[in-house]
Homo-oligomer: A and B are copies of this chain.
Amino acid sequence: MRDRYTISELAQEFGITTRTIRYYEDQGLLSPGRDGLNRVFSNRDRVRLKLALRGKRLGFSLNEIRELFELYDVSRDERRKLEAFLAKLNRHRTMLEERRGDIEIMLNEISFFADQCHRLLKEEDVGNGGDAAA
């Protein structure tokens, strides 16, 4: 595991464009170093990028993602605000659990549909070769 990535390496690894990465830096999600003009991304940036993309897949906005990053960062210095942080963590957890609930519901519906489909397909088989009692 290196600790130096170019912008196009990360873009290729995650299947996004360099523009996206620069935009994320612009929005405060990434803070790469510089080698002259060129950006140099650390493992920290790489992890953040992965987290950001995961957040996006779950429907979070870049703004929300940045706020979450800030929350997690804050937790490193300020112990006094731990209770508040815990509360926010729990809100975050609740949001995620709601979304997981949504997913469970949709998966159940899919299973229902799939079962129906399989039954219909079986009926067709029966209709081609035997009778309904088989």
Binding site for B on A (CB under 8 A): 54, 56-60, 72, 75, 79, 82-83, 85-86, 89-90, 92-93, 96-100, 102-107, 110, 113-114, 116-118, 120-121, 124
Contact = CB atoms under 8 A, between A and B. Distances in A.
B113 A75 contact: yes
Nearest to A80: B124
Given A79-B120, A107-B93, A121-B83, A54 B114 contact: no
Contact of A92 (B98, B99, B110): B110
A60 B59 CA distance: 8
Contacts of A117: 75, 82, 85-86, 89
Contact of A59 (B56, B82, B92, B96): B56
